[in-house]
Amino acid sequence: MKPIFETRYKWKLGMAAWVLHRLSGLALIAYLCLHIFVIHNLAYGEQHFNAVMKFLGSPPFKLMEIGLLGVILYHAFNGLRVIAIDFWGGTKIQKALFWVMMAAAGILFVFGATPIARHLLEAMN
Amino acid sequence: MNIEKETQHTQSMWVKNTGRGGALTWLLQRVTGLFIVLMILLHFWINHLVGTGEVTYETVFRRLSHPLWKCFDMAFLTFALYHGLAGVWVVAADYVKRDGWRTFVYIAIVFAGIVLFCLGTITIVRFPFI
């Protein structure tokens, strides 16, 4: 049984960031496929679409939505780090850059997840 | 592990292989990625942070009736599908080594892209479907 990672470096920050970038990317394209399918329900009229949205507004989905936001922000900000490394010689500062990007992502996460969490708590009461 | 066999380059024209090196794909990933970061923040903000934040036919109607928002959504769809599916290919190309399977995966990705693009386009352009 061949190991999946045939070329594997030591577990360092950059390696972990890369692996997470790939995994988050795959998760996001899977989500995008679902999202396109869900939104196309607009074609079946107001009642149908609102029923679908109501179903997807239930607590387990709201929770997953918060998770989705996290995944998006990780992929986006690590992606910005990749761009900085590729185009602006960020290699030397790649580790620091990671934490700066994650801090920015964290701030946006709090900003974006709070309203969703509020809806979630209201719906559960 | 037969290193020679696994690293040989095939000459077959039926195989989606390194060939020209993938430089354009590399660049486009970065360019589309940058646009997507900006667009996704706007998309999230306008849909979930403005007003009540919930998505209903009514709220979508107010936004997606405007040609400018239709245009934004179309561009977003195009960039996101390209970026996502090109990314899937990058990962697949790392792990799918056999020629026939590489071709199959590549065609499957292109096919999925076309189908998803059509579905998204019809939804955006033809909304509200009267």
Do B123 and A37 lie within an 8 Å CB cutoff?
Answer: no
Phi, psi of A40 (to 5 degrees): -65, -10
pLDDT digits (tens, 9 = 90+) for A96-124: 999 999 999 999 999 999 999 998 898 88
State the Cα–Cα distance between residues B86 and B74, nearest whole angstrom: 18
Q: Which of residues 44-103 of B touch A (CB under 8 A)?
A: 44, 48-49, 53-58, 60, 64, 77, 80-81, 84-85, 87-88, 91, 95
Beta carbons of B116 and B69 less than 8 angstroms apart:
no
ipTM, two decimals: 0.90
Residue B8 pLDDT: 52
What is the total count of domains within chain B?
A: 1
Residue B16 has pLDDT above 60, yes or no: no
pTM more than 0.95: no
Q: How many CB atoms lie within 10 A of CB A41?
A: 16
CATH code of residue A23? 1.20.1300.10
Select the residue from B58, B123, B126, B130 to test the A interface by mutation, using most A Cβ atoms within 10 A.
B123
Beta carbons of B53 and A115 less than 8 angstroms apart:
yes
**Domain span including residue B61:** 23-126
B8 lies in some domain: no
Interface check B23 vs A, CB under 8 A: no
CATH code of residue B47? 1.20.1300.10
Q: What is the DSSP string of A55-91?
A: HTTSHHHHHHHHHHHHHHHHHHHHHHHHHHHHHS-GG
A42 lies in some domain: yes
Do B129 and A43 lie within an 8 Å CB cutoff?
Answer: yes
